[in-house]
Amino acid sequence: MLIVIWLLITSVIYTKQFDDIESSCSSGGCDGENEINHEKNKYKNPDGKWSKYIRLIKDSVSMYKPCKTEDCFLLQRRADFRLWIDRGGIHESDFQNGIKLGEHYKIINHTLFRKKECIFPSRCKGNEHFILQLINQLPDMEMIINTYDWPKVYKNSALAPVFSFSKQINGSYDILYPAWSFWEGGPAIGPYPTGIGRWDIFTQTLTKEAELWPWEKKLKQGFFRGSRTSNERDPLILLSREQPLLIDAQYTKNQAWKSNEDTLNAPPAAEVTMEEHCRYKYLFNFRGIAASFRFKHLFLCESLVFHVGDEWIEFFYPAMKPWVHYVPVSKSLVEVRDLLQFFNENDHLAKEIANRGQSFVRTNLRMSDVSLYWYNLLKRYAKLSKWKVLKDPSFIEVKL
């Protein structure tokens, strides 16, 4: 009889303890249980509709290894020089193939010289600023720097060691360098008739603007303004006309504009400042003639960047990873509606990617990082060059 009574009392005690534990977990006192529930509820995925995007984000973030050195873009330089390394270096005959493809420079005894003519003076000045900063640390060399927007050395053309700011990953052999616009000669558009200006100064401007528009205050809407440099942008404009609350995308005028037909049969929209972009959660980036100058600026708004197409790059693009720092979008734009809906329903994921993108740009694209890239680029180039650089009386000395 005593044994039966003892068993009944023990059962009541255990039951009460279990109820207390359950109550504690449900009120936030059970860490392990909370972690499991948090992971389960982290993604809104009705009927498995968003499984594809959820998996892409989770896998991409888990595989990503953040840069832990000052030189985060080493792999791009290696890729650009691989061809010349395999060929045993750069020979003078190779150099002569590209002699007319850009601005001709010589460094002799720590002095910079340039062929007198320069097609885009502000672009030359932007490039020369970085070279002259490093001039006392650089050996003699001779180089061709292309200041046009598009690359010069295609796979079906004669090989030449030409420096360009942008290229197609699988279509050209140009050697990438940081664009002149980090210092001077950036795109002159309506709100910035003399160019956007120095990257370091404009970084501060956009950072302050982003602080005025924190994530919770931003408009839950996609945004794009730009001219119709190609019809690749048309689907986004048409989607905006169909669903203006989902996305505000409109064409502006460019120099070739003649009628509303040039802005997809609608009046051109007014151009907006980069600062105004910071009001929106989702910002779209398209290539222009080549890689887009606006790409790096968009991240400073701490908005989620939707990057359309992946064939055009600048030197820093490959270090930034899709789904980690930005959202990749196909050129057809067929998935845009779903992507915007997905991130509207999973706002915390959008914010996390936006934060990583902004952090990467602010941490790894400082002016000191740009100068370091120039230094390592020119040192490696000089080491691969196999001819003696001679003075030319027709060249002018370039000074700060």
Nearest to 126 by CA among 109, 111, 142, 145: 145
Q: Please, are residues 383 and 100 in contact by the beta-carbon 8 Å criterion?
A: no
Secondary structure letter of residue 368 according to DSSP: H
In this structure, how many other beta carbons lie within 10 angstroms of the beta carbon of residue 89?
14
User: 375: part of which helix (H) or strand (E)?
Assistant: helix 367-384
Rounded to an integer, what distance in angstroms lies between the CA atom of residue 323 and that of residue 73?
19
Which H helix or E strand runs over 3? helix 2-26
283's CB contacts (< 8 A; 6+ apart) are: 222, 223, 224, 277, 298, 301, 303, 304, 305, 306
CB-based contact 173:159 (threshold 8 Å): yes
Nearest CA-CA partner of 348 in 4, 31, 91, 38: 38
Report how far residue 351's alpha carbon sits from residue 344's, in angstroms, rounded to the nearest whole number.
11
Measured CA to CA, the distance from residue 197 to residue 273 in angstroms comes to 13
Catalytic residue annotation: 149
Which has the closest alpha carbon to 278: 293, 258, 261, 300?
Answer: 300
| Residue of 400, 377, 345 whose CA lies nearest to 163 | 377
Reading the block at residue 297, the tokens are 């600026």
346 Cβ contact partners less than 8 Å away, ≥ 6 residues apart: 43, 44, 50, 54
Hey, what's the torsion of the CAs at 13, 15, 17, 22, to 10 degrees?
-170
